Structure 1
Amino acid sequence: VQRFRRRLYASPLLWRAAVLMGPAGFMALLSGWTVTEVGRQPFTAYGLLRTAESASPIATPGVAASLAAFVVVYFIVFGAGFLYLLRLMARRPVAGEAGPPSGVPVRSAGITPMPAVAGAPAPAAGD
């Protein structure tokens, strides 16, 4: 309804929903990883191999240390990435920063195709 009224992007509810959906990609990544890892054990899951036969002989402290290391590394890597994204979002645009050139096509990534840039050579055949 708000799209037809041309107020979709002015809605504070949309902005809040967009912020709340930020971690959805990370959650999807972890969910896919979990499904992949569970899918690697089909012989045990479908009863073709007993659990006792498929269990590895690693001691519990070794498994716990490995899990703890993965958790720590994940928190460091994704925490640093999250803080970096927050810094990028908190930075205001520079006041005198020029926008995209008018009359030149700009892709969604913010890049201008080379032939559209003034004075750029045309691409060679086969490029």
Structure 2
Amino acid sequence: MGVNVFDALGDPVRRSILVLLAADEQPAGAVVAAVQRHTPISQPGVSQHLKVLRDAGLVSVRAEGARRFYALDRSGLDAARSWLTELTDPLAQFAQPLDALATEIARGKRRRAAPSDRPGEDAPGRQARHA
């Protein structure tokens, strides 16, 4: 990615484009018209915002003849979400290995608590024999 995701998200016009694209894929002309309804900006200006969003991995574009269609790119959004999650829950990356460790500890406790099959040891519920 050439542009940092959060740098791209820092502009209100780009955020409004993302909100528009969150509903569904849109042709470039519809994106330009929607942005121009709220902001006095030229078509090349909107195109530049779309390029920044593409470079950041937040939107994708597909060509259909002479038309261009823009859509959210989930991979860029997932990268941003992952980074934010690390900030709010820095131990999240260790959750799965710790869950596995907890399972192994529980198994060990169950094994120690299970009736013993070793000679000379009494299992729970059995009477001890005294000579």
TM-score (norm. length: structure 2): 0.24
Computing the radius of gyration from Cα coordinates, the structure with the larger value is 2
Higher relative contact order (CA 8 A, sep 6+): 2
More helix per residue: 2
TM-score (norm. length: structure 1): 0.24
More strand per residue: 2
